[in-house]
A and B are shown apart, each in its own frame.
Chain A
């Protein structure tokens, strides 16, 4: 064992320098040329940062398109899911309560129109997106409170929605922050 101790120690020091100093510095350097410079891509309105493109925000007001429920209340200081099991009775009560709340705030919508992503928490608690159906089902409410034409809002969703990569890789989605920003700008 003693024969190997000194080479092990020296090799450890050399590898810390290579893997933990040079490597991250190289990546940080390359990242400077990317959008956001490796600090995370931000979205600004009139020079003021309103959020990060990839980090979801809490939207609960009726005048905005709502985001998904979050186990960390959309505070990106941390992250995480609810970790509720599918048979947990308290969890199922929570989901039912969210369905009921949604129906109260969206009169005229039938419950089979509510997609599951609107009433379930994401894995990160910071999901920036909702499904296209989840955006569409909120149009009547948002249109009414903002005195806007529903058709115009459906078109807005079509404009903001992201189609799958190469047309077939991944689901269609709508970034809630971008949709609500577009909504405000349109007024």
Chain B
């Protein structure tokens, strides 16, 4: 077991070693400095020309938002229609059917907003065409949308920028051509040489050694799996996601995939430091986020390695840890590590089934999504953290009796109202959703729907409640992982989670953009001895406390009803 823990530590160390230079590279890309990928500049110029984009035209924050929302709306319509008709379109060797309207609605939103909740299974619910041209396409563009929004906020944090915050289409396109696509190619190549399928052949039928006739689903999966991690999307090719031996064939690919999914969230923190020439600020944010991540990782690691006490009581050998829902080739420590990283960042891909995790681990996975700001998703993680910084600046300002300032600009009532609303939105949509589903389950168990509420839950008692809580938390955090026992492909879940996903995506982008845009226009006050410094350890602790109090305590009653009650019922 110690040996396997070493594997986890090595994986994290490699992530850091890659993230620092990668962060520098990202800062150079958006500063328009020279990089080794400059040879594709003519291609980018060609793209801008045929698309009618004037790359030199700067936008203010409202124009950025309009452009962002316009192109996102277009993608939604495109995705919805494609999924609704996929059964009649080409590139469908397995003859899979079209999605129902409510499932198309849910899936289109889910992939548009970088959540990638999957109420279908890839093998039977999507076609090669929609996997590539809709789902993988949205993997790329939703990640680039988040990063572009973040870069606009970076721009707004600079001194003397006012309304000149760059061009949305340029930032967005360069995110794909300079960052997402090149790195995805490298990851996909590593995957195919370790056994992940990439050809367009359909299902194979074979007779096994014992004489059973089975089918083996395949397809051009490697490319999608690469970007699903790099873009912190998480929507997999196969139903079992990265627990599937094709999607994640061995320990090496597991390390590649786990590094790929945290690479951008961490690199973007360093990029912020390099971009604003405030390296210390970047390092403090990284330290707070890492401590936050460890707060959730350590209890998970302990409870998974200890295993299920009920199984221990059966008297069998559980020295390898809790193995239900886990793969032998990956082992318990690497699975526990993955389950926390995938929930603190918003990937939501899984290499073990979270529904079968120990209660403490389930609580930690939930908290990862409830805070949603320790590393966080591509771009949006720092945007969430930005909201908490604004609140922490304000509270600190009140505590020491100074006008709250952040990077040379005063924080006033309007910005605080936006920040508070965004911070409270997250618990609000999760808890209202969970309350609604619980109420329906209790009061209308036999409602006349295709899937009756009484059959929603795969587990009785506290764990069943956790399944519903997890679903809404995952949607609001745009995470996409699930307690997959929940019967979620029906009209109630498809529609309610669809709306939760939209709110959980766009309001936390609009809020920080608005705050940053408003602040950018304010008068710049040079730092003085009286300035509250935001790049110190003290301020870091302050931010950590704000996150834990707002995000974690708001959910405490719900966590007590779910995973904590289950923990105590298991007996230790």
Q: How far is B70's CA from A10's CA once the two chains are assembled, in angstroms?
A: 13
Contact residues in B for A78 (Cβ distance below 8 Å): 121, 123-124, 217, 239
B324, CB-defined interface residue at 8 Å: yes
**85-105 of chain A: CB within 8 A of chain B:** 85-89, 91-92, 95-96, 99
Quick one: CB contact mask for B188-223 with A, threshold 8 Å, 1 for yes? 110011010111110110111110101111101011
The contact string, 1 if C-beta is below 8 Å from chain A, for chain B 63-87, is 0001101110011001000000000
Cα of A112 to Cα of B317 in the assembled complex, Å: 5
Do B250 and A170 touch (CB < 8 A)? yes
CB-CB < 8 A to B254: which residues of A? 170
User: With A79-B244, A111-B316 as given contacts, are A171 and B328 in contact (CB-CB < 8 Å)?
Assistant: yes
- B496 within 8 Å of A by Cβ? no
Q: How many residues of B contact A (CB 8 A)?
A: 119
Most chain A CB within a 10 A radius of its CB, from B51, B69, B136, B250:
B51
Instruction: Mark interface residues in B232-263 (1 if CB within 8 Å of A CB, else 0).
Output: 00000011100111100111101100000000
A31 contacts B222, C-beta separation under 8 Å: yes
CB distance from B323 to the nearest CB of A (A): 4
Given the interface pairs A99-B316, A116-B322, A123-B326, the reply to whether A170 lies near B334 with Cβ below 8 Å is yes
CB atoms of B78 and A12 under 8 A apart: yes
Say which residue of B71, B124, B133, B459 sits within 8 Å of A11 (CB atoms): B71
B401 within 8 A of A: no
Decide: B133 and A131 in contact? CB cutoff 8 A. no
Q: Tell me whether A4 and B328 are in contact (CB under 8 A).
A: no
Give every chain A residue within 8 A of B458 (Cβ-Cβ).
83-85
Q: Is the CB of B316 within 8 A of A116?
A: yes
Known contacts A78-B239, A83-B353; is A11 also within 8 Å of B322 by CB? no
* Contact between chains at B209 and A1 (CB < 8 Å): no
Residues of B within 8 A of A170 (CB): 4, 7, 250-251, 254, 329-331, 334
List which A113-170 residues lie within 8 A (CB) of chain B.
Answer: 113-117, 119-131, 133, 164-165, 168-170
Contact call A122/B133, Cβ cutoff below 8 A? no
Q: In the complex, which residues of chain B have a beta carbon less than 8 angstroms from the beta carbon of A36?
A: 195, 197
Establish whether residues A87 and B310, one from each chain, have CB atoms under 8 Å apart when the complex forms.
Answer: yes
Q: Are A24 and B320 in contact (CB under 8 A)?
A: no
Is B311 interfacial (CB-CB < 8 Å)? yes
For B326, list chain A residues within 8 Å (CB).
Answer: 120, 122-123
Taking a contact as CB atoms under 8 Å apart, the answer to whether A127 and B320 are in contact is no
Contacting residues, chain B, for A32 (C-beta < 8 A): 199
Q: A89-B460, A122-B328 are in contact. Are A84 and B209 (CB under 8 A)?
A: no
Q: Is the CB of B215 within 8 A of A84?
A: no
Contact B67 A116 (CB under 8 A): no
What residues on B are CB-neighbors of A127 within 8 Å? 245, 327-329
A81 touches B325 (CB 8 A): yes
Contact (A79, B334) CB under 8 Å given A23-B184, A51-B208: no
A96 pairs with B314, CB closer than 8 A: yes
B405 located at the interface, meaning its Cβ lies under 8 Å from any Cβ of chain A in the complex? no
* Chain A contacts for B216, CB-based, 8 A: 40, 52, 55, 76-77
Across-interface contacts of B98 in A (CB, < 8 A): none
- Are B315 and A111 neighbours in the complex by a CB distance under 8 Å? yes
Provide the bound-state CA to CA distance between A170 and B335, in Å.
11
A130 contacts across to B, CB distance below 8 A: 328
In contact, A28 and B198 (Cβ under 8 angstroms) = yes
Interface: B113 (CB within 8 A): no
A sample of 22 inter-chain contacts (CB < 8 A) reads A12-B75, A19-B176, A23-B223, A27-B222, A27-B223, A40-B216, A50-B208, A54-B246, A56-B245, A78-B121, A80-B239, A82-B325, A86-B358, A112-B315, A113-B317, A120-B311, A120-B323, A122-B243, A124-B245, A125-B240, A127-B329, A165-B252
Using A61-B210, A116-B321 as known contacts, list a sample of 10 further A-B pairs with CB atoms less than 8 Å apart, ordered by residue number in A. Answer: A4-B66, A4-B70, A7-B51, A21-B132, A30-B198, A39-B201, A85-B356, A116-B311, A120-B311, A124-B245
- The 5 tightest CB contacts between A and B, nearest first, are A170-B251, A123-B243, A83-B485, A85-B463, A31-B198
